[in-house]
Structure 1
Amino acid sequence: MIYEMTVQVRVSDMQKGQLWYETLLNRTPDFIPHEGFAEWELIPGCWLQVAEGTPTLNSGPIRLGVEDISRERERLSSLLGIKHFDIHEREEVPVKWATFQDPWGNGIGLFQYQSKTEMQERIRFILGKK
């Protein structure tokens, strides 16, 4: 039985990396067990680890669900200097999505459910409020 998961990205400069991910995630880490390592619990049981080390180029993308992908694109552009990235959608796909890279080459993506009802149902399910 799988009950939890972690995903790790590596950054060559931990101080800059932690600050970049704090800005991306809009909060400080939940756990810093030692120097060169920080973790955020994104949703219950799902952790993002940022570790100092040699980045693996073209890894990911790690896709993060957001309520408003256009608003997030503007926020990230303003705060992190991420150049404009395209938001994609297809009629047969229930989400809009976009992909960009962090300064170390790790792939990051965002997605937004087309249906607000479906998004709210997913949030309730994930939080155990079926």
Structure 2
Amino acid sequence: MIYEMTVQVRVSNMKDGQKYYEILLNRQPDFTPHDGFAEWELLPNCWLQVAEGTPTVGNGPLRLGVVDLHAERKRLMDVLHIEEFEIFERVEVPVKWATFSDPWGNRLGLFEYKDSEALNEKLRQVVRR
């Protein structure tokens, strides 16, 4: 039985890396047990770890679900100075998605449900936990 998960990205400079992910995630880390490591619980039992070390360029992408993909893209372009990135959509796929990289080459992304009822059901599932 799987009951929890973690995903780790590595950054070559922890101070800059932690600041970047604080802005990306709009909050401070939930857990910083020692220098060179910060962790955010994104959903119940689902953790993103940022660790100082040699980045694995081209890994991922780790995509995060958002309510408004266009607004979040604009926010990230404004506050993190990310170059504009394309939003993709296909008729047979229930989400729109986009991919970009952090300054260390970790591939990240966002996605948004196209159907508001599907989004609302996902949000209800998170609130129930």
TM-score range, shorter chain: over 0.9
On the 8 A contact 1:44/1:127 being kept in 2, the answer is: no
**After superposition, what is the alpha-carbon deviation per residue over 1:54-105, rounded to whole angstroms, capped at 9, x for unaligned?**
0001010000000000000100000000000000001100000000000000
Deviation at 1:116, TM superposition (A): 1.3
In structure 2, what is the Cα distance between the partners aligned to 1:10 and 1:44?
22
Partner of 1:75: 75
Report % sequence identity: 64
- Using the size of structure 1 for normalisation, the TM-score is 0.97
Partner of 2:121: 121
Partner of 2:36: 36
On the 8 A contact 1:65/1:110 being kept in 2, the answer is: yes
In structure 2, what is the Cα distance between the partners aligned to 1:127 and 1:61?
25
In structure 2, what is the Cα distance between the partners aligned to 1:6 and 1:39?
9
Deviation at 1:128, TM superposition (A): 2.6
Deviation at 1:127, TM superposition (A): 3.3
Partner of 1:87: 87
Q: Which amino acid aligns with 1:85?
A: F
1:23 maps onto 2:56 in alignment: no
CA RMSD of aligned residues (A): 0.8
In structure 1, what is the Cα distance between the partners aligned to 2:128 and 2:57?
36
Gaps in structure 2 of 5+ consecutive residues: none
1:9 maps onto 2:5 in alignment: no
Aligned length in residues? 129
On the 8 A contact 1:30/1:39 being kept in 2, the answer is: yes
Partner of 2:107: 107
- Using the size of structure 2 for normalisation, the TM-score is 0.98
Runs of 4+ in structure 1 deviating by more than 3 angstroms, as ranges, are none
